[in-house]
Amino acid sequence: MNILTHIGGNIYIGSSFDVETLDSPMSPKIDLVVNVAKEIDILDNAPTGIWYIKFGLIDENVEQTRHIIDACEAVREGILNGEKVMVHCNAGISRSSIVCISTLHLMGLSWEEAERIVRERHKPAHLMNYGLLNTTKKYWDITYKKRAGSG
């Protein structure tokens, strides 16, 4: 199922199936693909000329927030370098949406605003793994409290 969604600016969310269609004239010119699915390797028929980074996240594992943050930092770096970045997991629902929410939050939006944008623009995000979403939000809350000196 192809679900490539433009979230805003230079960030896109999709599934592993969308990677195979990135060389289509109908697809945006993606510079960096961030794969956040442990079970998906770089696909044999993926287009050439695109940078690929993999962070092996597992959908059911709520104890991987540090890896989620690493992935969103890679996405943020790509965006700040002017690259169009696609984040994908297997189905394009949980891990990719959570990494995009985290990236938008890292770039200055409130968690609630980042989550609202992703949910509005990427309809599969309504099916996200809430355990992973809530654990990631709690991690951010604790991290920001520590940075502010109040935790």
pLDDT reported for residue 62: 67
pTM of the model: 0.89
Query: At CA 51, angle to CA 31 and CA 2, rounded to 5?
Result: 65
pLDDT reported for residue 88: 94
User: What is residue 32's three-state secondary structure?
Assistant: strand
What pLDDT, in 10s, does the model give residues 3-40?
899 999 999 999 988 988 898 888 899 999 999 998 88
Higher pLDDT, 42 or 134: 134
pLDDT reported for residue 151: 45
Domains of the chain: 5-148 (3.90.190.10)
What pLDDT, in 10s, does the model give residues 43-98?
666 778 899 999 988 877 767 788 888 999 999 999 999 999 999 999 989 999 99
Output the six-digit token pair for 30: 């993606």
